[in-house]
Amino acid sequence: MTDFKELIANEIYDEALGLEIEEIKSMIERPADEAMGDYAFPCFRLAKALRKAPQQIAEDIAEAAYKSDIFEKVENVNAYVNFFIDRAVFAGDVVREISDKGSQYGRSDLGKDKMVLVEYSSPNIAKPFHIGHIRSTVIGNALYKLYDACGYDTLRINYLGDYGTQFGKMIVAYRKWGCEEELANEPIKALLGYYTRFHKEAEKDPSLEDEARETVARLERGAEEETELWKKFRELSLSEFNRVYAMLGIEFDSYKGESFYSDKMPRFLQELKDKGLLIESQGAQIVDLEDCGLGAAMITKSDGSSLYVTRDIAAAVYRKETYDFYKSIYVVASQQNLHFRQWKKVLELMGYEWEKDCIHVPFGLVSLSDGDDIKTMSTREGKVVFLEDVLNTAVSKTADIMREKKVEGVDIDEVSREVGIGAVIFQELSNNRIKDYVFSWDKVLNFDGETGPYVQYTHARASSVLRNADEADISAISGSGLSSGSIPNSASDSDSGSQAGFGANIDFSYLKGDSAYTLAKLLYRVPEVVVEAAEKYEPSMLTRHLVDIAQAFNKFYHDEHILVDDEKERRTKLALVAAARTVIANCLGLLGISAPERM
């Protein structure tokens, strides 16, 4: 696709300016006010070299650049040169590129031959997969997809919480109050019940805590009975988790949890000792980080058992030695900020220079609309909102809305699943990840607001327009001979797509109207938004841009008559509709959301 900033930079370039083309390109801005042009170049920096007033320099550049065919006009306003791209040229370039690339539009090879690891979700075994887990899960999945779209080799890691004292408590509780049939029927709810009961009983009988510590010590030594129970809890939990992941359309490449690194920690305990970093404090082993303002990083407890920092050191070194990553991204709540700062500092003190490539991506809390903060949810008290229940409720509520609206001609069960679950994911990703937010059903399932259902409905509307077009029109804009009854079911189905330039079938001067041009400009920006969202670890940047595209498409749909009598006008507008449809489907896919054909 044409790099219009580069074209403008080439137009501006003159040896007398004392700037290279790339420097000029970096100075070119995109005005917030469209009335000031598509691009603007400030001339302040040139005043010293040229010994002219910035306004005079802007006048000279505007006069010289206006001779180019790519501009409708070039004008200076004070010290700025404002460039207005020829709308037909611009729209034609965008539509051709999207038609040619299909499902690959928005992707790049920026990260070729570089490995990025993304660790996300990471629930605790034998504990509920609750609504609080959704942020790490969907933000992490979106970051994986964004980095994949940028051409990186990506690895999805689910760092399961399958190690620690809670398993001693769970095993003790199961032995005392467990029921095999109950465990088989509803594993997580049963285990939650045992865990909750353990803490209630331990308040009356503190010896249970000692029994749990002895049990986990036997587990760590590999005792057969404890190990078998641990494996059972782990397998049952994974089976339950995977059912939720399947609902979300999420998969992982690695499920190596904390337990995988248990036999690797002695190496690093010895290394910390050899490098003089370990200090004894009340029987525990710590690394003193007071000079860095980070307190003390506890490495082992007084009983010798390991802690999160120790296991995370072992995991990080294993991943670096195994994958030689370019980046290792950890999508973990902001409450763990201190832990990650301590852990990275310890890695630095140990001499691992690549610790700078370990990136903690924090996120804020989600609370329920009735005021229950997810943070206050306690597995000890059994106060939990299961994520699976939230997703099922979203599907059910969506189906109710569709029946109320008397939607016909669709599989309500299938579409309500795509829209309901997509709505929950979109809600999570539409918020700046670091901000706390309130989960509200009214906002999540709104078909008219800046929501997932609104964007999905826009995709369905574009699909409907294409279905209503003639077979000859579809063939003309796709080059694939599709009939009006076989409009592609996804962007990837149309990849065989375009005849370069569309021949005489298209006249892009029909896309010079404000609504068409605004839509074309938003479609043009998608590849750079994908890169920016990945580099800033902020999926909401793509989500917000996608809402802008949906709003622009709907304005174009209302402002313009698309299926008009004039063949060239009709086919040109249909080509823009097809391009918008492709991009919306691609962007939804990068967020982990389906793009229904009918709603």
Question: Considering only the top CATH level, what class is 389-590?
Answer: mainly alpha
Q: Say which DSSP state 123 is in.
A: P
Instruction: Inform me whether the pLDDT recorded for 383 exceeds 60.
Output: no
Instruction: Inform me whether the pLDDT recorded for 203 exceeds 60.
Output: yes
- pLDDT tens track for 249-259: 999 999 999 99
Q: Comparing 4-85 with 389-590, is the CATH topology the same? A: no
Task: Quote the Cα angle for 71-77-81, to 5°.
Answer: 40
CATH superfamily of 4-85: Arginyl tRNA synthetase N-terminal domain (3.30.1360.70)
Bigger pLDDT: 374 or 69?
A: 69
Instruction: Inform me whether the pLDDT recorded for 440 exceeds 90.
Output: no
Strands of 332-405, DSSP E:
358-361, 366-368
Decide if 161 contacts 124 (C-beta within 8 A): yes
Q: How far apart are CA 537 and CA 360, in angstroms?
A: 10
Q: In the predicted model, what is the mean pLDDT of residues 192-212?
A: 93
Q: What does pLDDT average to over the chain?
A: 90
Which residue among the candidates 127, 169, 256, 327 is catalytic per the annotation? 127
Q: Is 127 a catalytic residue?
A: yes
Q: In the predicted model, what is the mean pLDDT of residues 556-571?
A: 96
For the question of whether the overall pTM of this predicted structure is more than 0.75, the answer is: yes
pLDDT (0 to 100) of residue 448: 82
Instruction: Inform me whether the pLDDT recorded for 544 exceeds 80.
Output: yes
Q: Where are the domains of the chain?
A: 4-85, 115-261+323-368, 389-590
pLDDT (0 to 100) of residue 503: 64
The architecture of the domain spanning 115-261+323-368 is: 3-Layer(aba) Sandwich (3.40)
Which residue among the candidates 5, 25, 101, 130 is catalytic per the annotation? 130
Decide if 98 contacts 502 (C-beta within 8 A): no
Instruction: Inform me whether the pLDDT recorded for 397 exceeds 70.
Output: yes
Which residue among the candidates 5, 101, 133, 360 is catalytic per the annotation? 133
Q: Is 339 a catalytic residue?
A: no
| Residue 151 falls in which region: left (phi positive, over 0), alpha (psi -120 to 50) or beta | left
How far is the CA of 134 from the CAs of 168, 250, 345, 434, in angstroms?
27, 12, 29, 14
Q: How far apart are CA 164 and CA 149, in angstroms?
A: 37
